[in-house]
């Protein structure tokens, strides 16, 4: 777990996992570039996605070694259904495989798995695998791995707004009582602190409907590395870069000494 002690290592030395106050408590990753990785090798996109699922292990290992508490991975967006049927089929197959096989290893490593996103559109087998994986790992404490599956931030916000509107209509909530805290508590991420660092691979620089509310104050880190080439060293590099950033949360520099971890812990 992240320590509350002072920085003890040189954050410019990105060849090692960084264990200090500068470690982001929560890293969220948009894993992008599987298709380009495959097409540059004249391979089918399915191979790119398979290699991408292997890179997931690297990210998890890097997060554990860096003492990150939460790692959220954007595995399948609500927009990904628009891809050709065989690609959607391949991606669902990989996720099914992951939830069936990798979960045992994650459990051994004391990793807790949670899934966010709209489950109703997923097939029954995947739905059950998610329930089983969440139940199996619910007491694990080393790393919280959050998989965003059939996730779309706008829809998540709409659902939260609707639930608050229902309470207003029922007379149990006054319109003036609606606050950022209340809306945040109505999101699927209510038990998860906001991401301190949001990483996107493959050179693209956009959020693509990922954690739009939660990333309001996240540091953004874009790398040209294609997701299948992502290693734990790339995660250490991102953590080291995060350590060099000056987070202000909208305050003036001299007033911005609040750490990401202090802020996030208050939000949990």
Residues with Cβ within 8 Å of 106's Cβ and at least 6 positions away in sequence, in order, are 60, 113, 137, 140, 145
The interface region with ligand FPP, picked from 8-16, 18-26, 45-53, 112-120 by CB under 6 A, is 45-53
Enumerate residues 143-172 that contact ligand FPP by CB under 6 A.
147
**Residue 213 to residue 154: CA distance in whole angstroms:** 9
229 given a catalytic annotation: no
Report the residue from 18, 27, 29, 31 that binds ligand FPP according to the rule CB under 6 A. Answer: 31
Report the residue from 9, 11, 19, 36 that binds ligand FPP according to the rule CB under 6 A. Answer: 36
Contact 71, 63 (CB under 8 A): yes
Specify the residue, 31 or 160, whose C-beta has the smaller distance to ligand FPP.
31
Residues with Cβ within 8 Å of 237's Cβ and at least 6 positions away in sequence, in order, are 14, 223
**56 in contact with ligand FPP (CB under 6 A):** yes
By CB neighbour count within 10 A (0-12 exposed, 13-18 middle, 19+ buried), where does 59 fall?
buried
* In the complex, minimum distance from the CB of residue 200 to ligand FPP, in angstroms, rounded to a whole number: 10
**34 in contact with ligand FPP (CB under 6 A):** yes
Three-state secondary-structure class, residue 119: coil
**Residue 246 to residue 154: CA distance in whole angstroms:** 29
Report the residue from 24, 25, 52, 223 that binds ligand FPP according to the rule CB under 6 A. Answer: 52
* In the complex, minimum distance from the CB of residue 198 to ligand FPP, in angstroms, rounded to a whole number: 15
**Residue 263 to residue 268: CA distance in whole angstroms:** 9
Residue nearest to ligand FPP (CB): 35
Contact 22, 10 (CB under 8 A): no
* In the complex, minimum distance from the CB of residue 227 to ligand FPP, in angstroms, rounded to a whole number: 6
**208 in contact with ligand FPP (CB under 6 A):** no
Specify the residue, 2 or 199, whose C-beta has the smaller distance to ligand FPP.
199
**Residue 118 to residue 97: CA distance in whole angstroms:** 19
* In the complex, minimum distance from the CB of residue 264 to ligand FPP, in angstroms, rounded to a whole number: 23
Q: Would strands 26-30 and 143-151 be described as parallel, antiparallel, or unpaired?
A: unpaired
**98 in contact with ligand FPP (CB under 6 A):** yes
Which contacts qualify for 121-124: CB closer than 8 Å, 24 or more apart? 121/81, 121/150, 122/92, 122/149, 122/150, 123/92
* In the complex, minimum distance from the CB of residue 174 to ligand FPP, in angstroms, rounded to a whole number: 41
80 given a catalytic annotation: yes
Specify the residue, 138 or 206, whose C-beta has the smaller distance to ligand FPP.
206
Catalytic residues: 32, 80
Binding site for ligand FPP (CB under 6 A): 31-36, 49, 52-53, 56, 73, 75, 80, 91, 94-95, 98, 147, 202, 227
């Amino acid at each position: 777990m992240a320590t509350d002690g002072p920085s003890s290592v040189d954050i410019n030395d990105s060849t090692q996992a960084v264990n200090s106050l500068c470690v982001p408590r929560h890293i969220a990753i948009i894993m992008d570039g599987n298709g380009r990785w495959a097409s540059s090798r004249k391979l089918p996109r399915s191979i790119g996605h398979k290699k991408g699922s292997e890179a997931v292990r690297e990210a998890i290992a890097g997060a554990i070694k860096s003492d990150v508490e939460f790692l959220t991975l954007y595995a399948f967006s609500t927009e990904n259904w628009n891809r050709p049927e065989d690609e959607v089929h391949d991606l669902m197959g990989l996720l099914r495989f992951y939830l069936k096989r990798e979960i045992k290893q994650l459990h051994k490593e004391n990793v807790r798995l949670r899934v966010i996103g709209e489950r109703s559109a997923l097939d029954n087998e995947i739905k059950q695998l998610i329930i089983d994986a969440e139940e199996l790992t619910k007491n694990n404490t080393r790393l919280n791995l959050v998989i965003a599956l059939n996730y779309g931030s706008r829809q998540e916000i709409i659902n939260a707004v609707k639930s608050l509107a229902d309470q207003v209509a029922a007379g149990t909530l006054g319109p003036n009582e609606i606050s950022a805290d209340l809306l945040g508590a109505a999101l699927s991420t209510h038990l998860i602190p906001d991401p301190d660092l949001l990483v996107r691979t493959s050179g693209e620089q956009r959020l693509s409907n990922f954690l739009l509310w939660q990333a309001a104050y996240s540091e953004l880190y874009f790398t040209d590395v294609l997701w299948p080439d992502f290693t734990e060293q790339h995660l250490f590099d991102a953590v080291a870069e995060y350590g060099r950033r000056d987070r202000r949360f909208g305050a003036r520099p001299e007033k911005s000494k609040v750490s990401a971890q202090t802020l996030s812990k208050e939000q949990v």
